Chains A and B, each alone.
Chain A
Amino acid sequence: MILNEKSVHPILHFDAQHSWDALLTLVKPELDVRGLKRLKDVLKPQAKGVVIERHYIDKDYRDTFSHFHSKRFNTPHSRCVRLHFFSIPVQEDAIASGEEAMAGAYLGYSVIRPTKPNCIGRTLLVHTLRVDNSAHLAVCREQVHLLGTRLHVEGFPFISQDADATVCAESALWMLLRYYSNRYSWYSEALPFQITNLASSHAVGRRVYPSGGLFSWQLAEALRLQRFSPLVYSRAQFPDNFEHLLYTYIESGLPLLVTVPGHVITAFGHDSDYHLPPSGGAAYSSEFNRAFIVNDDNCFPYQALRHGGPQTGKDSRYGFGDIMEFIVPLPEKVFLAAEQAQTAIEAVLNGVETGILKHSPRLSSSAHVRRLFLTSSRSFKRHLTGRGMGNSTVARIYRHLPMPHFIWVCELAEVAEYQNERKILGEVLWDATRNTHEPDGWTALHYPERLLVDAGSAFNRAQDLLKVDLTGSTSYSLFKSNLHTL
C-alpha cells in the first residue's frame, strides 16, 4: 500500500500489493537497483513499512556537494531522500502524535544521495537487524526528527563511498569518527570533506580530490588531528598476538580501522562462543572469539567477519587471515598499549612475591580464563555496587581509591564459571598512564583470598604496596559496560 504518494512524506507498506521494488519508483532517480539490493539485504526480514522523506538536506552530503560535486559542469541535485524504516505498518497520525508503538518500531534511517555508483549515504540502523544475539558491540544513539516527532535509534553509523570525494578510506574514517562524536562530547563531529582534508596537508605531490585513496599512515594522522593517539598494528610484526590484540581493543569499547588488501573497514564488535574449549593454563577470552562485527562501505552494516571467511550471505567476504593491519584510535590519556599492559600484568601474576601461586590457592588449583580490556575508572566504579566485587571490603576500597582516568583491567575467572555464568573471581587494575618499564603501574591486584593494593600511587607518592586478607569471597559478574550485549 502506498499512502500520500504525491506528498513530501509518502508511506510505503510492504504487502501483497507493493513490494520493495516500489521504492525504486518512489525514490527515483536517487535510489538505484544496487542501492535497493543493499537496503533489502539488511532490512527485508524486519521492515514492514517505510516513510520516505523527500527534499531532505543531509549535512554530510551537502558538505561534499559544496566542496566537490557543485564544481562539476553537470551537477547532481543538492538534496537527498531519507528513508525511515519501521517494523510495523506505518500511519502518519501515529508518528505525528508520538505513539509509543511507533517509536518502539523504528528501525532507523538511510539517506539516499543522488550520487553514482553508490547512493547510500549516512545511515544508522538498529543493530538487532543483523547481528546474532551472541554478539557484543559498540553502539551510539541519535535523535531523529520525523513529522514533528522525535525518535531514537541506537546502532553503529554507516556510509558508502561516493567514489569521487570519498573512497573507502574516508568512509571508514567517517563511520569511526561519527561514532565517537555521537557518543563522546570530547570529539567533534567531522563531515566527509573535512575528513578528506584532514590528510590533505600530508598529500605531498598528490591531489586531494577526486580522492585516490589514502595510505594507512594518513588514516592514523587524520585520527591524531581529531584528538586521538592512534596506534598501528601490522600482522607481520605481531604474528603471535595480532587477533588477540584486535579483540582486546574492541573488548575495550574502542571501534577501530581494519585493513584488508587494498581496502579498509571499521570493526566495532565481536561474536564469541564461550563454550569453545580454551587452550588450558591461563587462556585469554579472545580464544572464544569467532567473528568481528564490521561495517564495510562496499556492503551493508553489521557484517560478521568470521575466522575462516564467510559462512552465510550476512558475512563479510573477508576472514581473519585477510586482516593485514589495524589502527586503534586510543584516547589521548592512554599511554600504555594493550601488549605493554599485558606484559606488565603477566609479570605480577606470575611473580614469586605477587603471583597467583603465592596468593590464590583457588585460582592456582585449576586452569583459568583472563579477560584484558581498557576502561575508564569512572565507568569501573559506577558498576562496583551492582557487581559486588565478590567481597564488600574490595568494593569499598575500590570505591574510595583514587584511580587514573583510564585503567587496564585483567579479569581472572575459573573456566567453567566464566563459560556458564560469565562470572569472575578477581582482577588486576593497571594504570594506563604509566611508563612501560615502571612496576608502579599497579593500582590493585584482587585475588579471591587477598587484595594487594598500591596505596602510594593512589596518593601521588612512591609505591606503597599493602595486602588485605579476604574471607568469604564469592564469584561476581564480569564488567560489561564497554560493549552493548544483545
Chain B
Amino acid sequence: MPEVLELLPENPGLATPLFDSEDDYTRFREEFIATVSPELEKWMEARRRSEEEARQRLLR
C-alpha cells in the first residue's frame, strides 16, 4: 500500500492511482521526455554560450 495513505489515515481510500495501467504510465514518461528534451538541449547550449561570453565581459 502506498505510504501516502498513511498521510490520510482517516480516509485511506481517498488516494487512487493516477494511471489505469503500467502501459499508460510508460506512455506518459515517454511523452514527457520527448516533450522536454529539445527545449532542455536548447537551454544547455544557451548556458554554455553565456559562460563563454562571461569570459570576455570586463566590469569596473
Cβ-defined contact, B15 with A212, below 8 A = no
Task: Among B14, B18, B40, point to the contact of A437 (Cβ < 8 A).
Answer: B40
Most buried by A among B8, B15, B49: B15
Cβ-defined contact, A437 with B54, below 8 A = no
Return the CB mask of A181-196 against B: 1 if under 8 Å, else 0.
Answer: 0000000000000000
State the CA gap A217–B52 with chains docked (Å): 9
Given A234-B50, A459-B3, A468-B14, answer yes or no on A343-B36 (Cβ-Cβ < 8 Å): yes
List residues of chain B with CB within 8 A of the CB of A343: 36, 39-40, 43
Cβ-defined contact, B50 with A263, below 8 A = no
Q: Which residues B16-56 have CB closer than 8 A to chain A?
A: 16-19, 24-25, 27-29, 31-33, 35-37, 39-40, 43, 45-47, 49-51, 53-56
Task: Among B25, B40, B58, B60, point to the contact of A436 (Cβ < 8 A).
Answer: B40
Q: Which residues A233-285 have CB closer than 8 A to chain B?
A: 233-234, 236-238, 259, 262-264
Chain A residues proximal to chain B, CB less than 8 Å: 167-169, 211-217, 219-220, 231-234, 236-238, 259, 262-264, 324-325, 327, 337, 339-340, 343-344, 347-348, 350-354, 393, 396-397, 400-401, 436-437, 439, 452-453, 455-456, 458-459, 464-469
Listed by A's residue number, 13 A-B pairs whose Cβ atoms lie within 8 Å are A213-B59, A215-B55, A219-B59, A234-B46, A259-B59, A340-B43, A393-B14, A397-B7, A397-B8, A452-B18, A455-B2, A464-B4, A465-B17
List residues of chain B with CB within 8 A of the CB of A237: 45-47, 49-50, 53
Most buried by A among B18, B19, B28, B36: B18
Least distance between B8 CB and chain A CB atoms (Å): 7
Most buried by B among A217, A264, A351: A217
Least distance between B42 CB and chain A CB atoms (Å): 9
Closest residue of B by beta carbon distance from A467: B18
Closest residue of B by beta carbon distance from A215: B58
Which 6 pairs from chain A and chain B are nearest by CB? A213-B60, A455-B4, A234-B50, A217-B54, A237-B46, A439-B32
List residues of chain A with CB within 8 A of the CB of B54: 215-217, 220, 232, 234, 325, 327
List residues of chain A with CB within 8 A of the CB of B36: 343-344, 347, 436-437
Task: Among B2, B50, B56, point to the contact of A464 (Cβ < 8 A).
Answer: B2
Cβ-defined contact, A467 with B59, below 8 A = no
List residues of chain A with CB within 8 A of the CB of B50: 232-234, 237-238, 325
Cβ-defined contact, B32 with A348, below 8 A = yes
List residues of chain A with CB within 8 A of the CB of B16: 466-468
Q: How many residue pairs bridge A and B at CB < 8 Å?
A: 146
List residues of chain B with CB within 8 A of the CB of A217: 51, 54-55, 57
List residues of chain A with CB within 8 A of the CB of B40: 340, 343, 436-437
Task: Among A212, A232, A354, point to the contact of B51 (Cβ < 8 A).
Answer: A232
Cβ-defined contact, B17 with A466, below 8 A = yes
Cβ-defined contact, B4 with A453, below 8 A = yes
List residues of chain B with CB within 8 A of the CB of A401: 4, 7
Least distance between B25 CB and chain A CB atoms (Å): 8
Cβ-defined contact, B46 with A458, below 8 A = no
| Besides A215-B54, A237-B49, A327-B54, 18 other A-B contacts (C-beta < 8 A) | A169-B59, A169-B60, A215-B56, A215-B59, A217-B51, A219-B59, A263-B60, A325-B53, A343-B43, A344-B36, A351-B28, A351-B32, A436-B40, A439-B29, A452-B18, A453-B15, A464-B2, A468-B14
State the CA gap A214–B56 with chains docked (Å): 10
State the CA gap A458–B17 with chains docked (Å): 15
Cβ-defined contact, A216 with B4, below 8 A = no
Closest residue of A by beta carbon distance from B20: A353
List residues of chain A with CB within 8 A of the CB of B53: 232, 234, 236-237, 325
Task: Among A238, A439, A468, point to the contact of B33 (Cβ < 8 A).
Answer: A439
List residues of chain A with CB within 8 A of the CB of B51: 217, 220, 232
List residues of chain A with CB within 8 A of the CB of B43: 337, 339-340, 343
Cβ-defined contact, A466 with B15, below 8 A = yes
Task: Among B7, B47, B59, point to the contact of A263 (Cβ < 8 A).
Answer: B59
State the CA gap A167–B59 with chains docked (Å): 9
Cβ-defined contact, B57 with A212, below 8 A = no
